[in-house]
Chains A and B, each alone.
Chain A
Amino acid sequence: NAGVTQTPKFQVLKTGQSMTLQCAQDMNHEYMSWYRQDPGMGLRLIHYSVGAGITDQGEVPNGYNVSRSTTEDFPLRLLSAAPSQTSVYFCASSYSGQPPIYEQYFGPGTRLTVT
């Protein structure tokens, strides 16, 4: 199993550009989530999904969109990049049969810089 994979690993954007961060998992996990991590800080939840077709907002959803058309994939879209979105983005998944969600498997991260 590859676990949770994310692409790209690094990305530089100009202010106002849009892009999609890709996330995929091959563990048949129903639950997937996106976090951002800023230097010296913990992870903040952006959006999450409890299954295909179901998404919801986390702590910091503004400026980001998600969709979940399959169990495997959960892309994160930046609509109009801003320097404040410079961060490391982590995708995570977990087995939804274990509520509450406490054990998550994280991807390697995407390091995004917005200039």
Chain B
Amino acid sequence: GQSLEQPSEVTAVEGAIVQINCTYQTSGFYGLSWYQQHDGGAPTFLSYNALDGLEETGRFSSFLSRSDSYGYLLLQELQMKDSASYFCAVPFSGGYNKLIFGAGTRLAVHP
């Protein structure tokens, strides 16, 4: 079957760096996406990795290791507004038109 594992909660302080891990099990891997969702809001797309390595977009970076079936989202210079849930997602095995999401990691940023 397919599955994604993420920590349920992470806590950090403003200005710090936090890493949110995601391990996945799927056949026919097409890439790993990350989404952010604030309480009461809609998910918004953050990043996508199809190949191994680090992708940087401002304060956020995303990493993928296909050999380890593992990726992470790195948030630097944390701000209070980064408090949200973060979801990793992969296309379904055998059908890249379907996305399966992890259960999400709730990030709490404290002063």
Contacts and interface: CB of A to CB of B under 8 A. Distances in A.
A90 B99 contact: no
B45 to A, nearest CB: 5
Nearest to A109: B42
Nearest to A106: B42
B101 A42 contact: yes
Nearest to A43: B101
A48 B100 CA distance: 13
B71 interface: no
B108 interface: no
B60 interface: no
Contacts of B99: 33, 43, 45, 101-102, 104
A80 to B, nearest CB: 25
A103 interface: yes
Contacts of A100: 30-31, 91, 96-97
Contact of B101 (A44, A50, A99): A44
B64 to A, nearest CB: 12
Interface string B20-42: 00000000001101000000011
Interface string A90-105: 1010000001111111
Contacts, number: 66
A109 B48 CA distance: 23
Nearest to B2: A59
A99 B97 contact: yes
Contacts of B96: 99-101
Interface in A14-69: 31, 33, 35, 40-45, 48, 50, 56, 58-59
A102 B89 contact: yes
Contact of A41 (B91, B100, B103): B103
A102 B87 contact: no
A107 interface: yes
A41 B43 contact: no
Interface of B: 4, 30-31, 33, 41-45, 48, 87, 89, 91, 96-104
